A and B are shown apart, each in its own frame.
Chain A
Amino acid sequence: MPVVEITQKVDARGLSCPMPIVKIAQAVKPLPSGAVVELLATDGGSIKDVAAWCRATGHELIEQTSDGVVYHFVIRRK
């Protein structure tokens, strides 16, 4: 797996819908195109929601993993 440099981390653990999406959107906004952001969430809805958010905004979901409790997303800014 190619190594990607994480520009910023967003910790949305413990937050429910829609805050993980709100947080990631706010974090991504000021960053330059191509910046990579990591999102941590515990909201079960975020699996579908992060994908939907990426589709709508054009950002790229490059990695998605989970340890069963925490969902981990890596997103490249459009």
Chain B
Amino acid sequence: MTTETLAPFDPLAAAISAVDGGPDAASTTEAPTPVASPADDGQVATKDLLIIDYSGDLEKVWATMILASTSAAMGVKTRVFVTFWGLQVFVKDSKRITGENWMQRMLSAMQRPGISHRKLSKMNFLGMGPWMMGRLAKQYGVASPKELLEAAQAMGVEFIPCQMTMDMFGLKPEDMIEGMGEPAGAATVIGLMTENSTPLFI
């Protein structure tokens, strides 16, 4: 093994040399060094991706699902931390009212949870906007956020709910869709960001 990653590894320098086709480029891209992700395919050494899904808006959820499913398809270990309005996306579609006290219940009533009930951040027009988007998506063969979520889950994307937001909205594990990861907090997110994940805040 000639290309062991040493402790003071500089990812920027590695990236530059890979782009430049420098002396390191061949060893980092060609040789299948089993340094990273022994996980599934034994892919080329690559960074993980961490998407923070903060928004519950249809267009942003769509972007999250497109990137998460594509990233997993490209063999990148992908995690999505779902928090605040983003958490509403991962409540079961069948749930109408969630929460324990009247404020939590009222919040869920004002913004229906579930991935199939997302609103656009603009041009929503009482659901006209999302309806037209749905029609157009079908016409142009664009997968819906729900289909992309299912594909992402099938390819091993890990969806991590924010414990604090779950508590604040009064959401229980049984309110959430199947296959959610273990709830976690900000320290987990920062830990992943500073270790090996490219972070993306949506």
Contacts and interface: CB of A to CB of B under 8 A. Distances in A.
- Chains A and B bind each other: yes
Interface stretch (B39-47, B79-87, B88-96, B180-188): B39-47
B69 interface: yes
A58 B44 contact: yes
A26 B154 contact: yes
A25 B72 contact: yes
A29 B39 CA distance: 13
Contacts of B66: 17-18
A53 interface: yes
**Chain B interface bracket (under 10, 10 to 19, 20 to 34, 35 or more):** 20 to 34
Contacts of B148: 18, 22
Contact of A53 (B41, B73, B142): B73
A52 B41 CA distance: 17
Nearest to A19: B143
B46 A78 contact: no
A52 B140 CA distance: 23
B142 A25 contact: no
A16 B140 contact: yes
Interface residues of A, number: 20
B171 interface: no
Contacts of B151: 19, 22, 26
Of A14, A21, A53, A57, chain B has the most CB atoms within 10 Å of the CB of A57
Contact of A18 (B32, B43, B69, B76): B69
Contacts of A52: 74
B116 interface: no
A15 B143 CA distance: 8
Contacts of A22: 69-70, 73, 143, 148, 151, 155
A56 interface: yes
A14 B155 contact: no
Given A22-B69, A56-B75, A29 B143 contact: no
B149 to A, nearest CB: 12
B141 interface: yes
Given A15-B143, A21-B70, 6 more contacts: A17-B142, A18-B66, A18-B69, A25-B155, A26-B151, A29-B41
15 contacts: A17-B66, A19-B141, A22-B70, A25-B72, A25-B74, A26-B73, A26-B154, A26-B155, A42-B141, A56-B43, A56-B76, A57-B43, A57-B75, A58-B32, A58-B44
